C-alpha cells in the first residue's frame, strides 16, 4: 500500500487489509510505504489512528518508511492511492519496474475509471472517515477471491 507520506492513507490501507487477511486466516504479509521521505520513522497521522481505532483496528505501532526499488521484487502486488503515487513508484523502481504488479487501489472497485483515494492531509476528520470507507470497500474486494465470501 503506497501513498505520498505513508502517514494518512497507506497506513489505513495496510491496517485494513492486514485485519481482513488475519480474520480470513490468510498468512499474507501486508505493508505500506510512502514515495516521499517526508515522515520517515513517524507513526500514522493522529486522525488515521483515531478513525482506524473507531473501526476496531489499531495502527499505532506502524512506522513510516519510504518505498524502495526492491519492494517491486519483494511484493506480489503494490497498490497506489493516486496517479502521482503510481508514477513515483515507476520512477523509484527504475529498471525493475513491472507494470503488472502495480495498480491504483480504486481500480478494484471501479475498473478503468482511474479513480484516486483523496488525500485527507489538508482537511479535517471527515476526510479520514471517507478514506477509511473507500479503502475498506477496496480491501474487501481484494480479499474476496481468496475467501469465497460475498458481501
Ligand atoms: P498521505 O498524505 O500521502 O496520505 O500520507 C500526505 C501526508 C503528508 C504530506 C502530504 C500528503 N506532506 O506534504 O507532508
Is 136 annotated in the active site?
A: no
Evaluate: CB of 3 within 6 angstroms of ligand 1.
yes
Is 8 annotated in the active site?
A: no
Q: Residue 149 has what pLDDT?
A: 54
The structural domains of the chain, ordered by start, are 2-145 (3.40.50.2300)
Handedness of CA 12, 109, 84, 35 (dihedral sign): positive
Is 9 annotated in the active site?
A: yes
DSSP string, 96-131: G--GGGEEEGGGGTSTTS---PPP-TTS-HHHHHHH
Q: Please give the mean pLDDT across all residues of the chain.
A: 96
**pLDDT one-digit tens code per residue, 78-92:** 999 999 999 999 999
The C-alpha cell at 120 is 485527507
| pLDDT band with cut points at 50, 70 and 90 for residue 124 | very high
Mutation probe of ligand 1 site: the residue of 3, 7, 120 with most atoms within 8 A of C-beta: 7
Protein residue with least CA distance to atom 7, ligand 1: 5
Q: Residue 95 has what pLDDT?
A: 96
Residue 71 CA to ligand 1 center (angstroms) comes to 20
Handedness of CA 3, 7, 10, 1 (dihedral sign): positive
Evaluate: CB of 136 within 6 angstroms of ligand 1.
no
* Distance from C-alpha of 36 to C-alpha of 17, rounded to nearest angstrom: 22
**pLDDT one-digit tens code per residue, 42-76:** 999 999 999 999 999 999 999 999 999 999 999 99
- The pTM (predicted TM-score) of the whole model is 0.97
Residue 128 CA to ligand 1 center (angstroms) comes to 12
Position 150 pLDDT exceeds 70: no
Residue 53 CA to ligand 1 center (angstroms) comes to 20
Question: What is the Cα 71 distance to its own chain's centre?
Answer: 14
Q: Residue 148 has what pLDDT?
A: 67
Amino acid at each position: 500500500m503506497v501513498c505520498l507520506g505513508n502517514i494518512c492513507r497507506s497506513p489505513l490501507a495496510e491496517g485494513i487489509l492486514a485485519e481482513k487477511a488475519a480474520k480470513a486466516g490468510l498468512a499474507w504479509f501486508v505493508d505500506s510505504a510512502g514515495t516521499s521521505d517526508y515522515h520517515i520513522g513517524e507513526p500514522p497521522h493522529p486522525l488515521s489512528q483515531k478513525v482506524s481505532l473507531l473501526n476496531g483496528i489499531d495502527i499505532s505501532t506502524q512506522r513510516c518508511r519510504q518505498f524502495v526499488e526492491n519492494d517491486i521484487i519483494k511484493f506480489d502486488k503494490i497498490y497506489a492511492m493516486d496517479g502521482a503515487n503510481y508514477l513515483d513508484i515507476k520512477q523509484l523502481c527504475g529498471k525493475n519496474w513491472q507494470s503488472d504488479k502495480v495498480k491504483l487501489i480504486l481500480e478494484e472497485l471501479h475498473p478503468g475509471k482511474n479513480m484516486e483515494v483523496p488525500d485527507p492531509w489538508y482537511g479535517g476528520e471527515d476526510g479520514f472517515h471517507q478514506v477509511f470507507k473507500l479503502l475498506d470497500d477496496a480491501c474487501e474486494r481484494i480479499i474476496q477471491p481468496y475467501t469465497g465470501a460475498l458481501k
